[in-house]
Chain A
Amino acid sequence: MNKRLPPFTSETELIAACRNNNRQAQQFLFQKMAGKMLSVVKRYITNTSEAEDTLMEGFVKVFSKLDQYQGGGSFEGWIRKIMVNEALMSIRKNKDRFPVDIDVAFDLAHPDETLMQLGLQEIEALIATLPTGYRTIFNLYAIEGYSHAEIADLLAISEGTSKSQLSRARALLQNQLITLQL
């Protein structure tokens, strides 16, 4: 990681070099994106070593599927999607079940004002307290910005389940706020 790498003047140039299997370019892209992507993965997988393995597998996919990137949207957004998918696959592999179908939505009161005042680390700590199923849906909807239809498709659940699980996650977050005394 201490090796000095040749700078790539543009993202297009970097992508082209990575497509040609240029190791230096790949290392440059890894160094540029890995930190952010590890943060994404860790929101889904709390175990550090598992998160790092998932990040690695995610980058293997990024490099092998780089030809599929058309350049239409943000490159970082494209990598982020791969990482999220990889994290979901890892959760499935480890037999952490996604929520079962429950279509009863919670009537949730307005969020506590304190939630708006939380710092970065506190937000992460609070989200990390959620059980895997709730955390996954909360992350997908609230942080990544997926719609309920997209979540339903990704996790093979109904849209109703996605909505109800989000309500439960929000309720739990509010409860945890009191428990953790944030």
Chain B
Amino acid sequence: MKNWNSVEEKWREQLQNKSEDIPEGLWSRLEERLEEKPTRRFPIYWAAAAMLLLALGLSWNWNTAPEEEAAEVTHVIEKTEVPLEKDETPVSEPLIVQNKTTESTLAKASLQPASDVAAPIASVIEESTKEEVVATVPVIEKREESPEIVTVRLDIDPIVEEDVKPTFTQQKRRKSLFGKIVGEIRQALDGEPVNWQKLKEGNPAFENRIHTVANTYVKTEENLKRTLQLQ
């Protein structure tokens, strides 16, 4: 008595070399397909690259990088014309690119003792309107090593670090996101369905923070109610 394996083996042998008639024009269609292949692939790579850049940009925007803060300070330095109040010793200064005419003046000023330095530096900053602050990285790095560098920053920029505000776009972005969250939470408290996924869209980092933000909001509201009751 035969079993299924032997039946299938026989069928396999028979079907193995079976060949169908190929309809006319199939090669032409394939040829066309082969011609168009490279042109169709090209934009896919570009799209992938664009997506990657977008994702990187979004994550970079969301996380407040220390470099951004440094750039903000640089911006303040560029504009400042406020007279210097404190007379502590400047140890380092921002890296400044300027015209040859003002270079020597600045070099002199930086080498002078603490008591004499304040006025010349202020005057140099005032007179050199064309100068550009390239980077304040050395200032930040040295600040960590010695407390003297912190005083240099205060000399140049009387504005306290806490006052340095994030850029307009960042502030706006956070406000709008926060506004959305508050709106959704209010909706949830009112007993209406909330689409949390919609809030998370395009913000991978936000996914981890949404619960923290929501908890903070609820706690704040509870604290406020408690305070009002006590009063």
Spell out A's residues near B (CB within 8 Å).
1, 23, 26-27, 30-31, 34-36, 38-39, 42-43, 52, 55-56, 59-60, 63-64, 108, 110-111, 113, 115-116, 118-120, 123-124, 141-143, 145, 170
Residues of A contacting B: mostly: helix
| Contact, CB under 8 Å: A115 / B7 | yes
- Hey, what's the 0/1 contact readout for B9-49 against A, CB within 8 Å counting as 1? 01110110111111110110111011001000000000000
Residue picked from B1, B4, B23, B29, most chain A C-beta under 10 Å:
B4
| Contact, CB under 8 Å: B18 / A56 | no
On chain B, the number of residues with a Cβ less than 8 Å from chain A's Cβ atoms is 28
> Can you report 18 residue pairs joining A to B where beta carbons are below 8 Å apart?
A1-B24, A23-B31, A23-B34, A27-B27, A35-B22, A36-B17, A38-B22, A39-B15, A39-B18, A59-B30, A60-B33, A116-B7, A116-B10, A120-B14, A123-B11, A124-B15, A143-B15, A145-B12
Spell out B's residues near A (CB within 8 Å).
1-4, 6-8, 10-12, 14-15, 17-24, 26-27, 29-31, 33-34, 37
- What residues on A are CB-neighbors of B34 within 8 Å? 23, 26, 60, 63
| Contact, CB under 8 Å: A39 / B31 | no
Bound-state Cα–Cα, A63 to B30, Å: 11
- What residues on B are CB-neighbors of A108 within 8 Å? 4
| Contact, CB under 8 Å: B26 / A113 | no
| Contact, CB under 8 Å: B3 / A110 | yes
- What residues on B are CB-neighbors of A111 within 8 Å? 2-4, 7
Chain B: minimal CB distance from A129 (Å): 14
| Contact, CB under 8 Å: B15 / A43 | yes
Point out the residue from B11, B27, B37 that lies within 8 Å of A1, measured CB to CB: B27
- What residues on A are CB-neighbors of B33 within 8 Å? 56, 60
